[in-house]
Amino acid sequence: MKEYYKAIADFHKKFEMKGTNNEEMTFRLNLMTEELGELAQAVTKGKGKKAIVEENIDLLNLIIGNFVSLEISSEEIKKAFWEKHKKLMSREKKLVNGKNFRISEFK
Ligand SMILES: [Mg+2]
């Protein structure tokens, strides 16, 4: 994570994003929506694994960029990741609507 975080922090620095729309969350949400649409097209139009990997990397870069923009350190991300992972690992898996498996708390 640290390696990716530094790479994206360097990207933000190179393009002087601090204090601009590039680090505003509403703008970033629009970018993520755009990239999610590109991923959806790659999947639904059968563009292949290479395109699917690229669109996922675009989303990953934006997500890491969100942390950089919000000044959340890689150590804080690591802590939050493992807290969430622990929760996820305690969940149940169930078949819903007779065809899709879901992993949730099922309250
Ligand atoms: Mg893309």
Confidence (pTM): 0.91
pLDDT digits 0-9 by tens, 68-101: 999 999 999 999 999 999 999 999 999 999 999 9
Ligand 1 centroid to 58 CA: how many Å?
5
As given in the structure block, the two tokens for residue 83 are 């807290």
Ligand 1 centroid to 40 CA: how many Å?
10
- The pLDDT-based confidence of 1 (bands split at 50, 70, 90) is confident
- The pLDDT-based confidence of 29 (bands split at 50, 70, 90) is very high
Cβ(62)–Cβ(32) below 8 Å: yes
- The pLDDT-based confidence of 31 (bands split at 50, 70, 90) is very high
Domains of the chain from N-terminus onward: 1-72 (1.10.287), 74-107 (no CATH)
For CA atoms 1, 76, 64, 84, give the dihedral sign: positive
**pLDDT at residue 107, rounded to an integer:** 81
Ligand 1 centroid to 34 CA: how many Å?
8
As given in the structure block, the two tokens for residue 89 are 């690992």
